[in-house]
Structure formats: structure tokens, C-alpha cells
Amino acid sequence: MHCLIIGAAGMLGDGLAKRLIREGKVGTRKIAKLSLFDIIEPKKLEGGDVEIATGATDIADPAAAVALIEARPDVIFHLAAIVSGEAERDFDKGYSINLDGTRYLFEAVRAAHEKDGYFPRIVFTSSLAVFGSPLPEVISDDFIITPRSSYGTQKAIGELLLADYSRKGFFDGIGIRLPTICIRPGKPNAAASGFFSSILREPLAGQAAVLPVDTSVRHWFASPRAAIGFMVHAAMVDTSLIGERRNMTMPGVSATVSDEIEALRKIAGDEAVALINHQPDPAIEAIISTWPQAFDAKRALDLGFEADSSFEAIIEAYLEDYAPKIGG
């Protein structure tokens, strides 16, 4: 089979590619080719028995999607997006990439389907930002999407398009709403949620970190390892069990910032916690205040999606996968 990852230069895209190469299959189907594309060309990876193709493309260009599916990949992982903070600051860029790019991809697949019966599985990564206040403490699978940010609105529209194009039989789509990914390796990004990672990642490396919100803030989390697992599982889950409700929230860990800090204390000690500096940021607080805190992700759990067991497990997964030695 042939798998295509759009957004493969990002942290999750790179991790997904490495896992697919390592396992060499999706479910019982062997991967023969893996195509990796992003706005910048993804780094070269050793493929073993898997043929690897890489390239740079701009999904905001309608012609890009047509070229991406020319080889008719069996599974398309659509991860490409600009993050929440940047989408809020740059309205035009957010809609160009997060919405128009998604529509161009879906339209290209529809045209190919009508031409020669092409019918791929599309895994679309959505976000908890599709939900907006007022919110219950725990959000059920039946709760309506009411985004209160440009990013959330763009993702919500993408979810609706995915469901409709799947309903019409143009492709077999599944949308997975990822929890906030923590701990993200590398440098901070422009996401409003970036501090959730930085208050752990930097202290684990012996560096100071800024906390822009109150420690009582509660949120829904998953490790990069778990998120990549969600994507792989979404590529092989039986969508006949999903029906026309093609989008679902992934399971995760509900934790407060205080819970994060206490998990850090257990693993790295008081010295690491002392490196966190509380500097309130009203702009970030305003965005975070509209986000959900916890979910009852029964649909996803019943379909076999697996979450991290605790926040300590999230930190331990980070240390194992990205930072084998604290401070090293």
C-alpha cells in the first residue's frame, strides 16, 4: 500500500513517518511506499523495505492537491495546518491553509474518484478548539461544536466537509480531535497551548520556563506517542462501525497545570519546579478560557483508541522518546 503524509515536516508528521517505516505496515497491509510532503521538504528518512518519497508543497495552492494524489495513495494523513495562535493573529493565512488547503485536497480526491473510482482512507487531524464556552466540566461525544477562535472554526468546517464528502462516497474519511500534545519536543511553537509543554520541557533540560496562566487551569492532554498511535489506528479502524458521524474526540488525560507541576516534581524534583516563572498573559488566558477541560471519549475508546495512563506517563514517554537524560 501507499501512504501519504501531508504535514510530514512537523513533529507529529515526522514521528508518524518513523513509526510507519519501523512497523512497515498499517494493520495487516504492508507499506510499499511512503510519500512525505510539507511546506518545506521533510528530512530524509531511511525506509528499509519501504520506498520513501519527499517533497515541498503548498496546500494553499489548488494545484498542489492534484499533484499529491496523482499516484493515488491508499491512505492520506492530513496533518498540515498552522497552529491556533498564528491562525488567530493572521486571519487570511489561517483560512488559506487550514480551510482552503483542506477543501482543495478533498476536491482533488473527489475529482479522482469521479474519474477512475479512486477511494482512499483520509485521516484528518482536528482539534479540541472546535468546542467553545459555555462548556460542561466533562464533554460527551454528543456535545455540539461551537468554536470561539478562528483556528477552531477552520477545523470545525474541515470536520463538516470530511463528513459530507464521506457521506457522498468520495472517500473514506475519519476525523480525530487530538488532545493538546504534551510534551512537544524541540523549540516552542506559536500555539497558544505551547506553555503546557514548555513548563515541563525546559525545566527537564535545566532551563527556565514561563507560565502565562493560573495553575488551576485544566486541560485535556496526550503524549506525541499516543497521538501518533491515534493516527495509525484511525488508518485501519473499521469505519462501518462509525457511521456518518465521522469525527470524534480522542481519549486523553485531564489535568490541571498544578497536576503537571506535581508530576514534574515527582520525576525531576523541586529544582526543576523552581525554574517555572509565573508571568500572567491576558491574551493567552483569554484563548485558553474558551477551551474544554475533560471529555468522555467513549466512542473512540470503544473503537480501540488508547490514551496515556497518567501525566507521569506522559513525561516518562517524552524522556524515553526525545530526551533520554534529564538535562542532557
Q: Given 3.90.1200.10, 3.30.420.40, 3.40.50.720, 3.40.50.300, which CATH number is that of 2-178+224-251?
A: 3.40.50.720
The answer to whether 151 is a known catalytic residue is yes
State the pLDDT at residue 324.
Answer: 59
122-148 b/e (C-beta count within 10 Å ≥ 16 → b): bbbbbbbbbbbeebeeebeeeeebebb
The domains of the chain are located at 2-178+224-251
State the pLDDT at residue 143.
Answer: 94
Specify whether the CB–CB gap between 299 and 243 falls below 8 A: no
The model's pLDDT over 221-264, given as tens digits with 9 standing for 90+, comes to 999 999 999 999 999 999 999 989 999 999 999 999 999 999 99
The model's pLDDT over 104-137, given as tens digits with 9 standing for 90+, comes to 999 999 999 999 999 999 999 999 989 988 889 9
> From the candidates 118, 151, 165, 318, which is the catalytic residue?
151
State the pLDDT at residue 186.
Answer: 86
Integer Cα distance of 188 and 110 in angstroms: 37
Could you say which residues of the chain have pLDDT below 50? 325-328
State the pLDDT at residue 326.
Answer: 45
State the pLDDT at residue 132.
Answer: 86
